[in-house]
Amino acid sequence: MKQLSLVICVYNEELNIKPLSVQIKAALEDIDFEAIFVDDGSTDRTREEIKAINDERFLLLELKKNYGQSSALQAGIDAASGEYVALIDGDLQNDPADIPMMMKMAKDGSWDMVAGVRANRKDGAFLRKIPSKIANYLIREATGLRMKDLGCTLKVFTNESIKSIHIYGELHRFIPALLALEGSTKLTQVDVNHRAREFGKSKYNLSRTTRVFSDLILMVFLKKYMQRPMHFFGGIGIVTLGIGFLINFYLLMLKIFGHDIWGKPILILGMILVMGGIQFITIGIMAEILMRTYYEGQDKKPYRVKKIKPTSEY
């Protein structure tokens, strides 16, 4: 087993491949590593540049089309075999020289994850820094994670911890939260070097803001209700159904005492609330069945054991 698997997702980064490979070799010369370039459907000469490295430690994993960063990261993680797994951007903004320090920190402190914090970030304020600060604040408040920079790709994990999660959609921004959901509690962070982009174009823009918000709602739901979705949907359903019944009972009393209730907006509201409450409860039941299928179909446990050994060894 290699000491380190380095996963680098690239999309149209042809000018960055050669200098990045040179920096990786220099930074990791004392580490037994493999560097996995995941080409996410590039349309330029990125693949040719990777092949030209001509070093058996550098691997090329070609995806059939552009799947997005989360799927590309997952593909690289699945292929990684090292004792530690590091993630790094392919645009030269992360510095490979930080990785040995982060690996040592992870090993000495038995950390499941050491995340980089871009202390002196070299990005534009309006398009990158300000939206990132807002997103980091919202994610911290919603998930309870005390991480300063959730958007920094540079991270080092133990193989066991990173293999315990699966990254779907665009949840690469929430890797620490996904680890916490799977029971990894030893997460830390450290300041790392950050550099301005020299070649190519950034793949990020303000359009990702709405996606971050929607993913954040998902993460809050997973954190609180992953193993008990009926408590969420059923709670809303019971309240909605109860209000609907009260409204309809009130209208029934009016009808009994001779009042005309037909065409009243409150009648429509009462019916909508009753039907909505029934639907929420039904969704909760279906979600409970899906949750059980998720765990039992994969023989997954709803808990993670830290360690077990005889009491005489403590």
pLDDT in tens, 177-222: 888 877 777 899 999 988 877 776 665 555 566 677 777 788 778 7
Q: Going edge to edge, which strands form the sheet with 155-158? A: 58-62, 33-39, 4-10, 84-89, 155-158, 113-118, 187-192
pTM of the model: 0.76
Q: What residue type is assigned to position 276 of the chain? A: G
Q: Give 263-314 pLDDT, tens digit per residue.
A: 788 999 999 999 999 999 999 999 999 888 877 777 777 666 666 767 566 5
Give the mean model confidence (pLDDT) for residues 240-257: 92
Q: Where are the domains of the chain?
A: 4-224, 229-297
Beta bridge partners of 156: 86, 114
> What is the distance between the alpha carbons of residues 183 and 161, in angstroms, rounded to a whole number?
9
* Architecture of the domain spanning 4-224: Alpha-Beta Complex (3.90)
Beta strands in 63-138 (DSSP E): 84-89, 113-118
> What is the distance between the alpha carbons of residues 68 and 148, in angstroms, rounded to a whole number?
24
